[in-house]
Structure 1
Amino acid sequence: MQAEMLRLANDMASTHSFSFLLSSLAVVTLGHVLRSPSLHLRRETKSSLGYPKDSLLNFTELTAEYGYLSEEHKVLTDDGYILTMFRIVKARNCHRAKRSPPVLLMHGLLQSSDSWIDSGPDAGLAYLISDACYDLWLGNVRGNYYSREHVRLDPDKDPAYWKFYIEEIGIYDVPAMIDYVLEYTGFEKLNYIGFSQGTGTFLVMCSEKPGYCDKVKLVISLAPASRQMHTQSKIFRTVTQFFYRMEDTLSRAGLYEAFSKGGPGQEFAAFFCHLSSEAERLCEEVIYEFDHVNSLHFGSIASKTIRVLFGHFPAGTSVHNMARYGQSMNSGRFEKFDYGREQNLVLYGSEEPPQYNLSATTVPVMCIYGKNDGLVDTRDVEWLMAQLPNVLELVKVEDPQWSHLDFTYSQYTKNTVFPKINEYLLKFSYG
């Protein structure tokens, strides 16, 4: 079986049809049905097949590999979800007391805390922040493979587990993690860094949970996802709008989970992308087709990172959350889920879904974004920042080719975005 997979993958590597095939796989690799144990190879088997070691390690193992000591923490939300957080307690290059207050770093859609370390200690933002002696905590939202637990609901059996989108993440997950970090460390406030969805859910929290913005000194927003009216990625538009149109059909078929780690899409990509330089190049091509306005831009994400990240990505979310992103492609508003006029009237008291109150985000915000971002367009970023009452600075990365996933995976993070991040963390920190 493995020999046949190897032959097939090498045949595919010789053609440019792989981009289309992997994009198609992304649409159909959903749900529990596709979490078949027979498709999931053991770590030992993957190691024997030559998978990069870093792609097989979890967060604490991978950070330890490079001389960083991490802790795992479990956080319980008010609605019963059990989330996993990580704290880097010892950095390789920090030889002084930690700065305060703590920093909470939040990943984007379909990612996990691993996304901040996949590019290695010289580029991963988690390593860079820790080496600058900040007390760094990393969150994982419900539905990804680190936070796939609940006090009552079994994600493999109970559809109710998956009935969430950014609303629940913003109302329950982000506040629970903020409260946990503050209680554990004894501080009254923390600094927050959110990438893409990690900013969007923070905005939801400020809108729907009065007082929680007061627990944050500073928000550093990286390519923030709110409305996505101008998203230029054809693949992302197609995939998310497929979910939006087909959610009811998928639910009737028993499919509620999307892009899980261990599903055939993720397993195949992890297998294929390490086979050869040609296969690796095609995997890189898929990333740039998906992410860039100008898809001819190559080289920001190192070859090693390409092979490693597919061991951890995609990390999983709900079909309902993906459907909400499909909705956001068609709206000029940052709004709640649109269930249709009749159900909206029942749930919201209005035919249209209510908008999130962006003016409630009173915390100081600094934003960094990229010109070549095909997922979060510059026009939507600039629209969002115009709605917020306390924007300190809006920074467009000088590299005109800087795109969405460069924030987590680029080999150039240390010299492009980290200096500005560090500048603001220093302004809002002590020690």
Structure 2
Amino acid sequence: MLRLLLLVGSMAAALAGRSPHADFIDQLVASAPSARYSNNIIEDALLDVPGLVAKYGYPIESHEVTTSDGYILTMHRIPHGRDQNNRPDPNKPVVFLMHGMLSSSADYLVLGPGNALGYVLAEEGYDVWLGNARGNFYSRRHTNLNPDSWMNPAFWRFSWDEIGNHDLPAFLDYIERHTGQKKLHYIGHSQGGTSFLVLNSLRPEYNAKFISFHGMAPAAFFKHNTHMITSLAPHIDLIEPAAFAIGRAEVFGNREFIEWFNMNMCAESSIFAPVCSAIWVSTTSDYFNTTMIPLFLGHSPAGSSIRQLSHYAQSINHHTFRRFDHNPVTNLITYGRRTPPDYDLSKVTAPAYIHYAVNDLMTNFRDVEILIEKLPNVKVAHLVDSPVFDHLDFVWGSGVKARLYDKMIGLMKEAERNAL
């Protein structure tokens, strides 16, 4: 069985597509052929998600889902393990993983077998589904809108409100139809947690579909946030319209934009300078393995809309977790009131397991504790036992399996027993 999986994996890898920033990785290798990065790291940096998973002998599927507002999204699926639990089983428990902002399903795979959460869950006997939010590298299509049109940027007029209200229902309904499983586990990192809160506050009937919700540094409140990126928030009312006007409503979706942003916006005097600094500050924890930098850069950032950033900036400015503030007229049309309503967290009744860290610069632990106090059904509030564990360590940190994932899986299995 294993030999067959490896053979299929090798064939699939040979036919694989390229990662979001494979061209950049090619340039990196060409400019520094004697660098200390291994050939294996470079190969993984060049492969897209299906190729990456297939390379390591795991079964991989890609599923297309169309949302109620016309976005065509891709889910990746690892239906069973490679070394253990390695046979198809329609009764396997299902787990759905949702990435953070500027990321993709690759976040749960780049650490490789034995370490990355997607593989670890497959080996533990789970049917693993990995979502890709609208606008990222794998979900950059629409039934009639063109993401590349700077003349008509309507494709990019969305925030994580739409991801929670449209993308997640499309994913979850598809999984239920495909597997026949009425309930599943949900794991979300950062914005992946935000969108879960949006879904279940706006569409509370979905709460009944979850065995457990595991929020890894879920982003909702920013009262205590002191990250340098918060200095950008007061300018967001100018930044977002300007971005749409110059055809830059998609941010960090391609290497050309990143290079343009670095050249034009990262000067010390620029109001965007904190964003540039924040990218590096968020990747310098004690758990960050610098030898894997090309692998991370090959897959991330995977792209997003400027409005996702804008919506978080509004949360920072107003110290509240509420729907997107368009303008008084559009708000009145959209919400029936001139100001956007708060998300009603009392409606988020799914069993919640919140994982957070004291050294998280993006999602301050005291702000996560505000969320914990507001959620009505928190089963476990797990503060990661480390003074240096940071925001990206939840998905990219070396040793994260022993530090977090093993405990999380134990809680998932306990939740399954309680659900019987």
Distance 1:290 1:242, change over 3 A: farther
Q: Is the 8 A contact 2:80 2:128 kept in 1?
A: no
Q: Is the 8 A contact 2:251 2:257 kept in 1?
A: no
Q: CA RMSD, aligned part only?
A: 2.6
Report how far residue 130 of structure 1 moved.
1.4
Alignment of 1:228-267 (within 5 A): 228-234=222-228, 236-239=229-232, 241-265=234-258
Report how far residue 63 of structure 1 moved.
1.4
CA–CA separation in structure 1 for the residues paired with 2:416 and 2:260: 41
Q: Which residue of 2 aligns with 1:176?
A: 170
Q: Which residue of 2 aligns with 1:291?
A: 282
Report how far residue 232 of structure 1 moved.
2.1
Q: Is 1:57 aligned to residue 47 of structure 2?
A: yes
From 195, 211, 219, give the equivalent of 1:217.
211
Runs (5+) with no aligned partner, structure 2: 1-20, 34-40, 263-275
Deviations 1:332-372 (A, max 9, x none): 21101123445434433334310001111111000110110
- Which secondary structure state, in structure 2, belongs to the residue aligned with residue 403 of structure 1? coil
Report how far residue 91 of structure 1 moved.
2.2
Distance 1:224 1:266, change over 3 A: farther
Q: Is 1:84 aligned to residue 84 of structure 2?
A: no
Deviations 1:198-251 (A, max 9, x none): 1111111111123111111210111001122322220x2245554443111222
94-103 or 172-181: bigger deviation: 94-103
From 106, 111, 116, give the equivalent of 1:119.
111
Runs (5+) with no aligned partner, structure 1: 1-38, 270-284
TM-score where L is the length of structure 2: 0.82
Distance 1:426 1:327, change over 3 A: same
Identity of aligned residues (%): 36
Q: Is 1:420 aligned to residue 381 of structure 2?
A: no
Q: Is the 8 A contact 2:79 2:126 kept in 1?
A: no
Q: Which residue of 2 aligns with 1:392?
A: 379
- Which secondary structure state, in structure 1, belongs to the residue aligned with residue 317 of structure 2? coil
Q: Which residue of 2 aligns with 1:410?
A: 397
- Which secondary structure state, in structure 2, belongs to the residue aligned with residue 73 of structure 1? strand
- Which secondary structure state, in structure 2, belongs to the residue aligned with residue 417 of structure 1? helix
Q: Is the 8 A contact 2:45 2:296 kept in 1?
A: yes
From 142, 155, 176, give the equivalent of 2:134.
142
CA–CA separation in structure 1 for the residues paired with 2:128 and 2:158: 27
Q: Which residue of 1 aligns with 2:202?
A: 208
CA–CA separation in structure 2 for the residues paired with 1:148 and 1:353: 28
Q: Is the 8 A contact 2:25 2:294 kept in 1?
A: no
CA–CA separation in structure 1 for the residues paired with 2:291 and 2:261: 17
Report how far residue 46 of structure 1 moved.
6.5
Distance 1:210 1:90, change over 3 A: closer
Distance 1:298 1:334, change over 3 A: closer
CA–CA separation in structure 2 for the residues paired with 1:266 and 1:192: 35
Q: Is the 8 A contact 2:22 2:46 kept in 1?
A: no
TM-score where L is the length of structure 1: 0.80
The letter of the residue matching 1:290 is: V
